[in-house]
Amino acid sequence: MTNQRTLPQTPRPPQRDDGLDCEICGNRMHERSCKIICRNCGFTRDCSDP
Ligand SMILES: [Zn+2]
């Protein structure tokens, strides 16, 4: 009887840097349906903006 414990290791894939930095607070922004939203200060920005 073996008492081996196999812990499945799930290496974290590197996060894709698909966001921008908020120009107000500098936090990470998230793009959603062509809107880039800062979850920190609530600043939204259209993704078509340069
Ligand atoms: Zn912000």
**Cβ–Cβ contacts within 10 Å for residue 11, how many?**
5
Residue 43 falls inside a structural domain: yes
Residue 41: per-residue pLDDT: 97
Residue 25 token pair: 């607070």
pLDDT value of residue 13: 61
> What's this model's pTM, rounded to 2 decimal places?
0.53
Assigned domain for 36 exists: yes
Domain that includes residue 34, residue range: 19-50
Domain total in the chain: 1
Assess if residue 3 is contained within a domain. Answer: no
Position 13 in a domain? no
- pLDDT per residue over 1-50, tens digit each? 667 777 777 776 665 555 688 999 999 998 888 888 999 999 998 877 56
- Under a CB-based contact definition with an 8 Å cutoff, are residues 13 and 3 in contact? no
CA of 45 from ligand 1 middle (Å) equals: 10
Distance 44 CA to ligand 1 centre (A): 8
What per-residue confidence (pLDDT) applies to 47?
76
Confidence at residue 32, expressed as pLDDT on a 0 to 100 scale: 84
In a domain? residue 9 = no
Answer yes or no: are the C-beta atoms of 22 and 29 closer than 8 Å. Answer: yes
Measured CA angle at 46 (ends 45, 47), to 5 deg: 110
